[in-house]
A and B are shown apart, each in its own frame.
Chain A
Amino acid sequence: MNSISVRALLVRGMLAGLIAGAFALAVAYFLGESHVDAAIALEEAHSHDHGGGEELVSRTMQATGGLATGVLVFGVAVGGIAALVFCYALGRIGDFGPRATAALIAGAALLAVYIVPFLKYPANPPAVGDPDTIGERTALFFLMVALSVLLAVAAVIIGRRLAPRLGNWNATVAAAAGFVLLIGLAYAFLPSFDEVGKDFPAGLLWEFRLSTLAVQVTLWSVFGVVFGYLTERLLTPSALAATSRTASAVN
């Protein structure tokens, strides 16, 4: 294993992220956009000073090219980061092959990067959220993401340390319990925001939040499967022996 394989894994991570982003984009467009449109319609019905009439980017462009840019760049970026995590985790988190390691990282990323922060600071549609608190909400959202990721990494390290004494199962349960406890404390002590207008439909808010969850579940599931397939083909000795010509082409 040398730096060439890091490069090969990074390229595959970004490629898998792009493919996952394309699937997530389809979910965002077909499930999410109608809720964004409905929320914007409510926003414009209530406030007349939004944007001052002149649109910088048209709604059609925001919902197609803009959405695609956002979701695909996000996919490539998180795919690259996940690939770097994979490079370090492979062979260090237990007796898992490349495909299982990729699946575990994708699942852990979905949980730590999205679901845990989402339960405290859920996604908001347009018209929900006070513009005056955007600084505070942004800072706390990224703090929650950072805290969740750091605690997840710490849980994995502590779980690995405890494994020889407690056994794999008990060590994993203990580390997970510690993670849940500390995240619970963060939930309890970090400030919350309740900025949903009284006349904003609860059904629309729920549907919008579910669709953002569907986007992330799609992104990380597809990433885990595609990246797992690519890394298994790249790294398993049997695959290398079977196709020595492609292996030499990679190097």
Chain B
Amino acid sequence: MAQSAVPATGTSAIAPISAKAIAPWAVFFGILMLVLLYFVGAEQGATALISGEGVHEWVHDGRHLLGFPCH
């Protein structure tokens, strides 16, 4: 594939990656990334999956300086 494509294509016109190829990565990693963002941005603020205040206190300064509502 790559060898035949190199001389044929010019400097422009990049072939889009098919949605089917992206979908599994988008679903798995998209959700994983959103879970990470939840723990940095919102856990033990308005909602809590883990009891206590350890997560909130640990990322407290990051939460304020990244612009999330903290408390």
Q: Which residues on A are within 8 Å of B, measured CB to CB?
A: 1-3, 5-7, 10, 28, 32-33, 36, 55-57, 61-63, 65-71, 73-74, 76-78, 80-81, 84, 87-88, 90-92, 95, 97-98, 114, 117-118, 121-126, 129, 131, 134-135, 137-139, 141-142, 211-212, 215-216, 235, 237-238, 240-241, 247, 251
Contacts and interface: CB of A to CB of B under 8 A. Distances in A.
B14 A240 contact: no
A205 to B, nearest CB: 12
Determine the main DSSP class of B at the interface with A: helix
A122 B68 CA distance: 9
Secondary structure class of chain A's binding surface, majority of residues: helix
B12 to A, nearest CB: 6
Nearest to B42: A138
30 contacts: A2-B21, A28-B61, A32-B65, A55-B57, A62-B61, A66-B60, A70-B63, A71-B66, A73-B36, A73-B40, A74-B36, A76-B36, A80-B33, A84-B22, A84-B26, A88-B16, A88-B19, A95-B12, A114-B67, A118-B67, A123-B66, A123-B67, A124-B69, A129-B69, A129-B70, A138-B46, A141-B69, A142-B42, A212-B67, A237-B5
